Amino acid sequence: MVHGMCAMCAACALCLSVPGLARADIAVIVHRENSVHTLTARQVSDFYLGRARNSESGELLNIYEQPVDSVLREKFFYGLNGMNLKQLNAYWARLRFSGEVLPPVSVPDSQSMLNTVRRDRNALGYVDATTLDSSVRIVLLVKE
């Protein structure tokens, strides 16, 4: 119980220490040791739409996303580039059919995303900002 309380306090402290971080924010995150320190919404959109795979330093990024039908995924893409799930799914259906690009790897939830990003130095993911801890680095905040 104490460990859980400490983790909750740390997450609250992190949220309070980042200016403008609100409950509805979605944090785009990388591993703490990744060379990427900040990304624009356009860059993140390009990664998540299969238009880019390498960071500006040339590092190949492993792109992870929330489940296909998750509310967080819908909020993320709508906040990022105005796409709803219907548009996004149609976009990926066309790309899959062409065989050009594979979509990001889906993980079950934000806790799994955090665990994945902690383990994979080249990971790029997103989580509800309220689930953050100091084990990952925020590279962009997407407002709902």
The pLDDT of residue 101: 85
Backbone angles phi, psi at 91, to 5 degrees: -60, -50
The pLDDT of residue 23: 52
Confidence of residue 96 (pLDDT cuts 50, 70, 90): confident
Whether 12 shows a pLDDT value over 60: the answer reads no
Whether 65 shows a pLDDT value over 80: the answer reads yes
pTM to 2 decimal places: 0.82
pLDDT (average), residues 92-98: 85
Amino acid at 45: S
Please state, in angstroms and rounded to a whole number, the distance separating the CA atoms of residues 70 and 12: 24
Cα–Cα distances (Å) from 105 to 16, 34, 124, in that order, read 31, 19, 10
Please state, in angstroms and rounded to a whole number, the distance separating the CA atoms of residues 19 and 94: 39
Greater confidence (104 vs 14) lies with 104
pLDDT (average), residues 111-121: 97
Tokens of 81: 């580039």
